[in-house]
Amino acid sequence: MQKLADLLIQKIPALQPVPVDFVYLGVQVVFALVMLMAFVAPFAGIVSWVERRIAARMMDRVGPNRVGPQGFFQWIADGIKSILKEDIIPTAADPILFRLAPYLVFAGMFAAFVTIPFSSGLIIADLNVGIFYLIAVTSIVVVGILMAGWASNNKYSLLGGMRSAAQIVSYEIPAGLAILVVVFLTGSLSIQDIIKGQGAYPWQWYLFDNPFMPVAFLSLFISSLAEGNRTPFDIPEAESELVSGYSTEYSGMRFVFFYFEEWANLYLIAAVGTALFLGGWQIPPEVKTWASALGGVVGFTLPHALEFATFFLKSAVIVFIIIWIRWTLPRIRVDQLMSLCWKYLTPFGFAASLGVAVWMVVFPQGVMSVRYALCAGAATIVLYFFYRVAYQVWYSRQPIHVNPFV
């Protein structure tokens, strides 16, 4: 970021009398806006379309396919429709809180993207408390949801808001413990430092650093699902019980803000998992040297583009898995949700952090053979899983498409 700002000051004479700090600030704000508007907003929209298409495939339906090629512009059509809808505020609602709630939810989500890196250079602000800031700022979402539930003056909304608050606050703890484990290994809270501590190849990832890391990763993944209100933890907006939970009374664009938050949150969950455990944007150093050696504009942009693609692909895989889980599993009950958090995830989180601490004392340099073994184990599990999927697809193929009327 600083380099870019320096370049601008050199090239544009009008900027030279302006204090340097202002230029830095201006560049950063403009970059933040571009990143959020050009990446996060379309991503949330496109993911809504992707999710609907994937869900349709799983359900043996077609899904939205009318607007544009394969229905790609469905999300734009939905957005326009929502803006044109009447914005209804119930008479009995608290008008100020009712209006404020969607913005809080929206702001909490967008503010979290400030510390999410897209490549080694593409980051809005590389805070030295990056991951801590991220946890703190996403908690604003809870306030918004609780506010929405209370201000709607609807009993379903209230129940939904309460459930959501209880759920998100509880699951911060296992999530925090899992993140703490990574902070042990790195010795830094900055997300860029955490990624720099890993490498491009799977055995260099923190996920396979020692036997306790997969536990921490799973615990983080499950907690993120719960914090993001995704199935099997979507009880705050459980349609069959609470109609639509805290967003029952909302309509038009305010309603979209809640769903926007949910889909943007998908990427956030995936990005945090990728950055902390799956090597982030790291590409093999040989590739990076080769790309930088091209020189000129290409040499400057290509490494960043490759890093961005790596990071994005890893995140996209996680996003797909989350969508997959959502359309497969039933949801669990409130008390089961709480017992999962307090009886299983939290103790496992503590055990993992203790294990990692001991491991770091016993093997300060790490053990390469353990890393290779864990990596091979994970690969075996994934391969076996795909074998099972292929087998089941083959097994159920012939009967499924028999049409009795042919």
Partner 1 sequence: MELNTEEMLLNMGPQHPSTHGVIRFVVKTDGEVMSAAVPDIGYLHRSIEKIAEKATYNGFMPWTDRVDYLAAMNCNVAYAMAVEKIAGIEISRRAEYLRVIAMELNRIISHLLAVGSLGMDIGAYTPFVHALREREKANDLIEELCGQRLTYNYARIGGVIYDMTPNWDAKVLAFLEQFEPLLNEFDRLLTDAKILKKRLGGVGVVTAEEAINYNLVGPNLRGSGVKWDLRKDMPYSVYPELDFEVPVGTGEAGVLGDCFDRYNVRMKEMRESVKILRQCFERIPAGEYQVKVPKKIRPPAGDVYVRTESTRGDLGVYLVSDGSDKACRVKFRCGSFNAMSIVEKISRGMMVADLIAFIASLDIVAPEIDR
The binding site for partner 1 (CB under 8 A) comprises 55, 58-61, 155-156, 159, 162-163, 231-232, 234-235, 238-243, 327-336, 392, 396, 399-400, 402, 404-405
Q: Which residue's CB is nearer to partner 1, number 82 or number 231?
A: 231
Q: Report, in angstroms and rounded to the nearest whole number, the Rg of the chain calculated over CA atoms.
A: 23
**What does the DSSP 8-state code read for residue 329?**
P
* Helix ranges, 140-292 (H): 140-151, 155-186, 191-196, 213-227, 239-242, 252-277, 285-292
Nearest to 338 by CA among 174, 220, 170: 170
Q: Which residue's CB is nearer to partner 1, number 232 or number 349?
A: 232
Q: Which residue's CB is nearer to partner 1, number 99 or number 331?
A: 331
Nearest to 50 by CA among 234, 315, 281: 315
Nearest distance in Å: CB 97, partner 1: 20
* Nearby residues of 20 by Cβ (< 8 Å), 6 or more positions away: 5, 9
Tell me how far CA of residue 373 lies from CA of 21, 65, 358, in angstroms: 49, 45, 20
Nearest distance in Å: CB 221, partner 1: 17
Nearest distance in Å: CB 243, partner 1: 6
Q: Which residue's CB is nearer to partner 1, number 225 or number 235?
A: 235
Nearest distance in Å: CB 383, partner 1: 21
91 within 8 A of 247, measured Cβ to Cβ: no
Q: Which residue's CB is nearer to partner 1, number 245 or number 273?
A: 245
Nearest distance in Å: CB 330, partner 1: 4
Q: Which residue's CB is nearer to partner 1, number 330 or number 364?
A: 330
Nearest distance in Å: CB 398, partner 1: 8
Burial of 353 (0-12, 13-18, 19+ CB in 10 A): buried
